[in-house]
């Protein structure tokens, strides 16, 4: 069926697939090349911090390997801001996206990214198996007709203990966008100018207007094209997504979309209730690891509960801490919840962890604040 679908989508060895052709035409996201991110907002992409969270080990950043699977035109830059010493591989189908991403990273003086054109579903032909510690696959799987193969490939490319961040569209949250997309297709509307004209004409309060107004990417042409003209964009009910992960031998490690609960079971129940009530408004963002590594993660969980651990600063927060001005700053929420503000008192609290501190020496009245910062990933906890 997948082969049929691929054929229907028109891809062949010599002709680009419609998905590739789409991204050659519409660079996504189409941000100005000088658009920059605040260093502190990249904290949740730092490999050492994430490795510590899932494995409780210190990872030498020079030894780590990161893959951006379907990198688009921008993500190599913030990933490099978060991981300035780690080799990053940026893989994408689209030459136009790769060129733009390279320009963006280079203009901001980040040179630790290799840009490779290729298809995620065939990435084991490009890289050796178990090659990466962290794979970021954000907003890509739902554009791949053979999503099962793509997920299996992610699994094959993960090293023992490694993890992937995955974002896919939720059926419920994308309902009105998908409906508008189908309607535009029926009306044979195939370019952004016509959609813009329709947007201008759409009555305020109409479903089309509401769904355009609610989507920040509608502000730029390639975003509008991504919303309404994409040749292949499927959506998932939670249960379908969980089954796909399971079939690919990937274990769900936690959700990080806005409002996600830290407990996986509780979050699954919450999402399913929202789906039943048709009121879910977020796409799914999660971390997944190899099922084979479940026992290794359990060992770390048990160790943490029973033995001495060490608490230190997330390297990104450490790097940018001296640069935080007197005006309080709140790093952007990247893990599904609001962050603590970094003001003078917070800076003092965090500064204590510039070098690792044994958890047992942290005063009991400080522990709650430290746990909160560990949860926020401003601080990291390791076995040594």
Residues that bind ligand SAM (CB under 6 A): 19, 23, 28-29, 70-72, 74-75, 91-94, 97, 119-121, 138-140, 143-144, 226
CB of 146 to ligand SAM, least distance (A): 8
Q: Where are the alpha helices (DSSP H) in 85-174?
A: 95-107, 147-157
For ligand SAM, give the closer residue by CB, 54 or 74.
74
Between helices 147-157 and 238-247, what is the axis angle to 10°? 50
CB of 17 to ligand SAM, least distance (A): 8
For ligand SAM, give the closer residue by CB, 27 or 329.
27
Cα(272)–Cα(274) distance, integer angstroms: 5
Give φ, ψ of 132 to 5 degrees.
-125, 145
Task: Name the residue with the smallest CB distance to ligand SAM.
Answer: 72
Question: Which residues partner with 118 through β-bridges?
Answer: none
CB of 150 to ligand SAM, least distance (A): 6
CB of 97 to ligand SAM, least distance (A): 4
What number of residues does the chain have? 384
Q: Which residue has the tokens 């026992």?
A: 295
Phi-psi map region of 164: left, alpha, beta (phi>0 left; psi -120 to 50 alpha): beta
Residue 178 tokens, joined: 């998908």
Q: What angle do CA 202, 206, 209 make, to 5 degrees?
A: 55
Going by C-alpha positions, the residue among 201, 170, 66 that lies closest to residue 127 is 66
CB of 180 to ligand SAM, least distance (A): 17
For ligand SAM, give the closer residue by CB, 28 or 353.
28
For ligand SAM, give the closer residue by CB, 225 or 342.
225
CB of 246 to ligand SAM, least distance (A): 21
Going by C-alpha positions, the residue among 170, 151, 153, 158 that lies closest to residue 50 is 158
For ligand SAM, give the closer residue by CB, 168 or 380.
168
SS3 state of residue 23 = helix
For ligand SAM, give the closer residue by CB, 119 or 267.
119
Cα(203)–Cα(357) distance, integer angstroms: 59
CB of 339 to ligand SAM, least distance (A): 20
For ligand SAM, give the closer residue by CB, 211 or 313.
211
């Amino acid at each position: 069926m997948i082969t049929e679908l691929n054929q229907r989508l028109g891809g062949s060895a010599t002709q680009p697939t419609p998905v590739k052709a789409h991204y050659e035409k519409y660079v996504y996201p189409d941000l100005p090349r000088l658009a920059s991110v605040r260093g502190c907002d990249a904290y949740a992409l730092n490999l050492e911090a994430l490795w510590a969270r899932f494995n409780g080990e210190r990872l030498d950043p020079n030894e780590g390997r990161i893959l951006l699977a379907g990198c688009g035109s921008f993500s190599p830059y913030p990933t490099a801001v978060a991981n300035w010493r780690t080799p990053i591989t940026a893989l994408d189908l689209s030459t136009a996206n790769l060129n733009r991403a390279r320009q963006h990273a280079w203009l901001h003086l980040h040179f630790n990214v290799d840009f490779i054109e290729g298809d995620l579903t065939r990435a084991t032909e490009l890289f050796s198996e178990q090659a990466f510690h962290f794979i970021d696959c954000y907003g890509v799987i739902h554009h791949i007709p053979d999503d099962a193969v793509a997920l299996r490939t992610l699994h094959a490319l993960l090293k023992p203990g490694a993890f992937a961040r995955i974002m896919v569209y939720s059926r419920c949250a994308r309902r009105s966008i998908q409906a508008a997309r189908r309607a535009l297709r029926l009306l044979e509307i195939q370019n952004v100018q016509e959609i813009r004209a329709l947007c201008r004409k759409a009555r305020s309060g109409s479903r089309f207007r509401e769904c355009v107004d609610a989507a920040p990417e509608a502000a730029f042409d390639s975003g509008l094209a991504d919303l309404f003209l994409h040749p292949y964009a499927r959506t998932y009910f939670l249960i379908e997504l969980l089954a796909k992960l399971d079939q690919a031998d990937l274990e769900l490690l936690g959700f990080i979309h806005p409002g996600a609960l830290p407990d996986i079971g509780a979050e699954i129940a919450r999402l399913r209730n929202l789906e039943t009530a048709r009121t879910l408004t977020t796409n799914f963002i999660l971390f997944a690891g190899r099922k084979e590594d479940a026992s290794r993660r359990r060992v770390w969980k048990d160790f943490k509960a029973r033995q001495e651990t060490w608490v230190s600063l997330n390297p990104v927060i450490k790097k940018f801490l001296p640069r935080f001005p007197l005006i309080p700053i709140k790093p952007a929420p990247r893990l599904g919840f609001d962050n603590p503000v970094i003001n003078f008192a917070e800076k003092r609290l965090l500064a204590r962890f510039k070098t690792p501190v044994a958890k047992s020496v942290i005063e009991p009245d400080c522990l709650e604040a430290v746990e909160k910062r560990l949860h926020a990933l401003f601080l990291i906890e390791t076995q040594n």
